């Protein structure tokens, strides 16, 4: 089970940590240094790389989480409330990620290809709001995963 815990934790750290870095460090720096067209291009390319990692993390989280519950923890009926809450919030995060990826991010790429700076900026703004929501959810999941059994 230790391998599953390690992979599960690393996947969560990569995803949530990446959102924290993007929201709290990259965004403020890009706003100070780059013009809107450059910012949109930076976000499009940054998200392209980051989202590949998020896909890997989503798969890893689902596989390791459900394997641990089913094989080591006695099934869903046997786990504590914090595991149920972590699962629910994690699934919500995944759904929000899917929406970001298939809607505003796809539109951002089209706007960049069309050299439509205004539209690209709107899409970056949409993504920023949704990533902010996902970041808060992710931080809650981290608290539940690390301290939930003691709450």
**Spatial CB neighbours of 44, under 8 Å, sequence gap ≥ 6:** 108, 109, 112, 120
Task: Report CA-CA distances (Å) from 70 to 74, 75, 79, 116.
Answer: 6, 5, 10, 49
Entry pTM: 0.95
Give residue 59's pLDDT.
98
Spans in the chain with pLDDT lower than 70: none
Give residue 47's pLDDT.
98
Give residue 10's pLDDT.
98
């Amino acid at each position: 089970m230790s391998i599953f815990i390690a992979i599960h934790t690393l996947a969560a750290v990569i995803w949530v940590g990446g959102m924290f870095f993007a929201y709290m460090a990259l965004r403020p720096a890009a706003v100070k240094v780059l013009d809107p067209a450059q910012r949109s291009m930076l976000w499009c390319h940054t998200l392209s790389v980051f989202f590949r990692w998020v896909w890997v993390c989503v798969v890893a989280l689902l596989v390791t989480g459900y394997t641990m519950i089913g094989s080591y923890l006695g099934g869903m009926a046997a786990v504590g409330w914090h595991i149920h809450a972590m699962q629910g919030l994690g699934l919500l995060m995944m759904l929000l990620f899917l929406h970001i990826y298939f809607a505003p991010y796809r539109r951002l790429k089209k706007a960049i290809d069309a050299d439509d700076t205004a539209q690209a900026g709107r899409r970056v703004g949409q993504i920023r709001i949704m990533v902010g929501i996902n970041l808060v959810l992710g931080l809650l999941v981290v608290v539940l995963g690390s301290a939930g059994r003691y709450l």
